[in-house]
Chain A
């Protein structure tokens, strides 16, 4: 329902677990120091080296080992009235690479995650078509299939940070994002099966859940790269991501990626539904609002070090890493600043940027306890450069809620702790 972005009255000071753990480790000094004595983990025989472990069927469908049980989605309770119409955040501070495992990929529901069996799934195409059609799930699987990796970012990602630094952790500031490899059918294929009439300019899509989450998409985009996906990262979509099938709208705001999709209507005009008028429109400083701001601007964030992922090792080599993405195409370059944006150095992309998918970057560097004001800045193939928060505010004010793609600053302190800050 309503998502609040203006903050709430301060509660009692919240210490993150990682922060607590960090203070001890940092004092140890450089990593290459000589050992004080033989390491019992090496010199003594360990249980795991003598006995046996679990048999093959101990967990028929495995979950992460228990030591990783803090790598989970998290919710910010005060944002919404109820978890049924709410959002949570992917633990991007603790992940690496680019693929987000489904089990910790953020969720956004408008009337809860529904359970819809494949047998009960129906997809209708109606409106300005030659033949209105109904497909079953089985029908979808018989169309030629495509495999593509795309990020999905909620338009409200970083929305709580417009008026100032608010949430202390990359998960909370930037975690309304995930990146998956989708298998499914191109929307174009389905639309061609029904035959779009020339006067059809818009595609209205809605889900089977009570919210329906209807959105209007211009026909050009629908015929370009949209997909009806039924698998993600090789396995069936999770219930919370729209099982058995969802829409994929590459590079465009997550709200358009309708889950549990049940109907596609070809229309002459946009429906101007609740989700494209009262929500997902961006109010400017003078009170007018932008609508149809579908594409996600180029953006990046340092995921480590960050408030939930402080530097726990001593001085010496340090890996700075993060994610970059753009709804307009591939990431071509990411720069990192340690001094709040005065000087920049170009980071290494783990792999060449792929269009509308997450790109991992690394800066392999040296840290000797100096304070850093850590920032990253993404560039995409169109030449767009991720702006500072002040540059965005100059154009958009502070009430946009959505589409905050500003450069993020982490203040890394001498003890390795990090904090979300704004800088001059």
Chain B
């Protein structure tokens, strides 16, 4: 592979020569303040650098995980739907369908701490305390049978935890293990005998259908019916008048606020229950009653007591979900501004059909 390496070095030299020559610094930017570095410099490395002082137990982790993580990752870190499974899969890496989890695959525990602290929970990142992150990490270890139920993880014992797949990785070796790909290509008689088809994508048939293809085909078949939609639109007009009472500016603001909710909730035509229930028509709707959604015990109790999502209840829930409904599955911390709550409520009314 010396040929390839020389070429790489060669192109690197060319690239450097082509970039602007800098005789000295330009004096642009300003020194970063220690507080600023502390706020952003959160990464944790395999050797433990970057770990904050703190600790968390498996026991606490179970409760915190249940509240903040289980909705996607499952109560036992086993994963829900297509969301990542964090536990299990030991001994499956050489199988046809390996299950790669923190326990079966991740080589360093620091990665779990680093990622949970910086990026989780999904849609509400950077809201957990360092101790909470230690506790969640401890619980994930416990879910993988790597520690006992009385285990407490801290910055002191962090490096003592052995990760089962720590030695399961090799550094990219393509230029040796695949050296035979650097070759003189064959141009004629490259395969002996007939070339046959061994597998077809059509048979598997998992390709998404092109949007609009179906409707267009239908329109071509029945051109006489094209007048019908216009009449349907007329019939819908009274509904339009009802929603016209909404404040369009507030709806617009609310749509922006709703971005925070979109990770889990769908609205509009074709909306489906995801991590959270569909919210079409939710304002004024009985609580805990969206078809096909599995609610928490707390929400079920609220529903049974005749709870309705009137504006008052909705505002209280959105301010601090877990204060309003203990043990709600909703992992969202709440909206701080009253104006945001008013706006998102107005938006939810606008999608109420």
Contact = CB atoms under 8 A, between A and B. Distances in A.
A133 B200 contact: no
Interface string B2-33: 01100110011001100110100110111110
Interface stretch (A51-59, A70-78, A233-241, A358-366): A70-78
B139 to A, nearest CB: 17
Interface string A404-424: 000000010000000111111
A418 B196 CA distance: 16
B22 A395 contact: no
Q: Interface extent on A, as a size class?
A: 35 or more
A343 B94 CA distance: 36
A274 B28 contact: no
B110 interface: yes
Interface string A1-34: 1101011101111111110100000000000000
B142 to A, nearest CB: 19
A200 interface: no
Contacts of A125: 32
Interface string B100-124: 1010011110110011001100110
Q: Interface extent on B, as a size class?
A: 35 or more
Contact of B82 (A1, A224, A281): A1
A291 B172 contact: yes
Nearest to A220: B12
Contacts of B100: 278, 283
A11 B206 contact: yes
A16 B82 contact: no
B185 interface: yes
A319 interface: no
A277 interface: yes
B326 interface: no
Interface stretch (B207-215, B230-238, B302-310, B333-341): B207-215
Contact of A15 (B22, B114, B181, B213): B213
Interface stretch (A38-46, A99-107, A262-270): A262-270
B187 A186 contact: no
A382 B232 CA distance: 64
B28 A142 contact: yes
A132 B105 CA distance: 35
Nearest to A286: B94
Interface in A375-419: 377, 379, 381-385, 387, 391, 395, 398-399, 411, 419
B201 interface: yes
B197 interface: yes
A96 interface: no
Nearest to B28: A139
Contact of A82 (B44, B174, B274): B274
Given A112-B263, A133-B32, A423-B196, A189 B20 contact: yes
B226 interface: no
A350 interface: no
A340 B191 contact: yes
A278 B207 contact: no
B37 interface: yes
Contacts of B191: 340-342, 424
Interface in B184-228: 184-191, 194-202, 204-213, 216-217
A297 B174 contact: yes
A102 B96 CA distance: 38
Contact of B169 (A206, A289, A339): A289
Contacts of A85: 122
A288 interface: yes
Given A126-B41, A292-B172, A385-B183, A287 B204 contact: no
B84 interface: yes
Given A287-B168, A329-B11, A273 B28 contact: no
Nearest to B114: A273
Most buried by A among B29, B84, B212: B29
Contacts of A398: 96
A214 B12 CA distance: 25
Contacts of A164: 199, 204
A335 B22 contact: no
Given A1-B84, A188-B19, A285 B174 contact: no
Given A339-B195, A343-B189, A81 B20 contact: no
A214 B108 CA distance: 15
B96 to A, nearest CB: 8
A328 interface: yes
Given A14-B205, A16-B213, A126-B32, A262 B15 contact: no
A168 B182 contact: no
B20 A78 contact: no
A116 interface: no
A172 interface: yes
A134 B36 contact: yes
Nearest to B25: A193
Given A139-B29, A423-B198, A10 B205 contact: yes
Interface in A86-101: none
Contacts of B125: 111, 210-211
5 contacts: A11-B205, A70-B210, A290-B174, A292-B172, A335-B185
Interface of A: 1-2, 4, 6-8, 10-18, 20, 70, 74-78, 80-82, 84-85, 110-112, 124-127, 131-136, 139, 142-144, 146, 164-169, 172, 186, 188-189, 192-193, 195, 204, 206, 210-212, 214, 220, 224-225, 262-263, 265, 267, 269-274, 277-278, 281, 283, 285-295, 297, 307-308, 328-329, 335, 339-345, 355, 373, 377, 379, 381-385, 387, 391, 395, 398-399, 411, 419-424
Given A133-B29, A343-B190, A411-B200, 8 more contacts: A1-B82, A11-B205, A15-B209, A142-B26, A224-B12, A262-B40, A307-B207, A382-B182
Closest 6 CB pairs of A and B: A287-B93, A340-B195, A81-B82, A287-B94, A420-B201, A144-B20
